[in-house]
Structure 1
Amino acid sequence: MRHDFAPGTRLPPERDLSETLGVSRGELRKALATLEAEGQVWRHVGKGTFIGSRRVEVMSLSEIDRVTNPAEVMRARLLIEPMLAREAALNATQDHIEAMAACILRTRSAQTWRQYETADNEFHRLIAQATGNRLLLALFDALNAVRRAVVWGALRSGRQRPPDDHHSFAEHDRIAAAIAQRDLSGAAEAMHHHLRAVQKQLIDPKGPTIPRE
């Protein structure tokens, strides 16, 4: 007996299906386990067995904003951005390197935190762009959108500017220098060090309410 089911169709209960096929429930379960391993069916506890591969539910950025938190965002950045810096050291063009240097100058000359954040954001995005990998750039853009909403969403415009000894100035210099020198491990380490400093500022109760990169 042959039955054709469209993808997403829920199979009948095991008792009914075993009777229809003329096999024991034990034999049926073994067959279903094999089909599941091959990706031909999938099981949802409490709902049944369905034809096809399990559908992956992808959350929108607005949904991610609601379920994540600053600590998770920083952990994700620590896992991803050092790798981006490493790839940038391998693939960056001279135009990328010069653009990074220009961004660093703008962070140092910023007259407000808002101006600083704009230049800083461009610096980090240039690193992702310099990987030459459009998928990695898209991944960075998604992470950065969540970062800005979750961690920096409360940013207020004001007249205060970054101090002359702001930690990120020297850290950005080291990242850019390693990329320009094609130092893959050095670029990754410099980015990791930078993000750890940002993370420390984020979780330090004595630090500012909003971490500044």
Structure 2
Amino acid sequence: MVAGEEDLTRRLGALMTSGEVPADGRLPPERQLAERFGVSRARLRQALERLEDEGTIYRRQGRGTFAAPPVANGSSVLNRIAREVTPQDIMEVRLEIEPALAAHAAARARSDDLARLRQLMLATIDQDERIAYETADDIFHYNIAVLARNPLFLEVYDAIRTVRKLAAWGEIRRESHTPETMARFGEQHRALFAAISDRDGPKAARLMEEHLVDVNRAVLRGAKQGNTGLPPADPSSPD
């Protein structure tokens, strides 16, 4: 990659972690991006294609380009659920679904999939900026769901992500992620990737469960401290 291409890719990456991107992750249209960065649309498309190959962005026909996996348009059912759901409701479902996805990913991922997943895992490590961590974390978990290669599982996972994005407290939960917490989660992602890469499904499932339990504790701890705006934690939950 020549220097000019590296610079354009870097600038696009900076845009995606700048906080300018809306909650659904949708990037501006190609025409606006080309004007913003002073490049031709052909050159911009080349950079976007590279980022898509790396799993950094996602393009969906008729829906646009996204800095993170696109959230499905909320159906009336999902919108209603988002108004009623609590963080604990979400976590209960994630704990049932995501360990299974990790186990299937360990069995079904191809070598090129693993190379991409490794890069996505590394993007979650040593992140001390919350928006950047949230984006990297979202993309890493989404790609594990994709590598499970079960369209029905992926549809369920997409519904979970959509409800999390639509829920009023969805963006506030990142306040519970201190730099120390994000570093710990990044190392958990490293161990999880290693299990998937080693084709060890049971270990991948166990590590995913342990990771989600730790995430849950962090969010609950923040809720108890009154600094996240989340509903009060269940007093019977571990802290």
- TM-score when normalising by structure 2: 0.57
> Could you tell me how far apart the structure 2 residues matched to 1:59 and 1:175 are?
35
Closer, same or farther in 2 for the Cα pair 1:178/1:207, shift >3 Å? farther
- How do 1:17-96 residues align onto structure 2 when only pairs under 5 Å count? 60-96=77-113
Query: Runs in 1 of length 4+ with deviation above 6 angstroms?
Result: none
Contact 1:85 1:188 in 2 (8 A): yes
Aligned residues: 152
Q: Which residue of 1 aligns with 2:132?
A: 115
**Bigger CA radius of gyration:** 1
> Could you tell me how far apart the structure 2 residues matched to 1:107 and 1:210 are?
25
RMSD across aligned positions (CA):
2.7
How far residue 207 of structure 1 moved from its aligned partner, in angstroms, is: 8.3
Does the alignment pair 1:141 with 2:175? no
The correspondence for 2:143, drawn from 126, 133, 151, is 126
How far residue 197 of structure 1 moved from its aligned partner, in angstroms, is: 0.2
Does the alignment pair 1:180 with 2:203? no
Closer, same or farther in 2 for the Cα pair 1:83/1:156, shift >3 Å? closer
The correspondence for 1:166, drawn from 167, 180, 183, is 183
> Could you tell me how far apart the structure 2 residues matched to 1:82 and 1:207 are?
30
> Could you tell me how far apart the structure 1 residues matched to 2:209 and 2:79 are?
27
SS at 2:179 equivalent:
coil
> Could you tell me how far apart the structure 1 residues matched to 2:116 and 2:214 are?
24
Q: Which residue of 2 aligns with 1:209?
A: 228
How far residue 109 of structure 1 moved from its aligned partner, in angstroms, is: 4.7
> Could you tell me how far apart the structure 2 residues matched to 1:87 and 1:121 are?
18
> Residue type matched to 1:74 in 2?
M
Does the alignment pair 1:189 with 2:206? yes
> Could you tell me how far apart the structure 1 residues matched to 2:174 and 2:228 are?
11
> Could you tell me how far apart the structure 1 residues matched to 2:121 and 2:128 are?
14
Q: Which residue of 2 aligns with 1:102?
A: 119
> Could you tell me how far apart the structure 1 residues matched to 2:213 and 2:100 are?
14
SS at 2:144 equivalent:
helix
The correspondence for 2:170, drawn from 152, 166, 170, is 152
- TM-score when normalising by structure 1: 0.63
Contact 1:201 1:208 in 2 (8 A): no
How far residue 208 of structure 1 moved from its aligned partner, in angstroms, is: 5.8
Identity rate, percent? 33
> Could you tell me how far apart the structure 2 residues matched to 1:96 and 1:171 are?
19
The Cα offsets for residues 23-69 of structure 1, whole Å up to 9 and x where unpaired, read as xxxxxxxxxxxxxxxxxxxxxxxxxxxxxxxxxxx962111101211
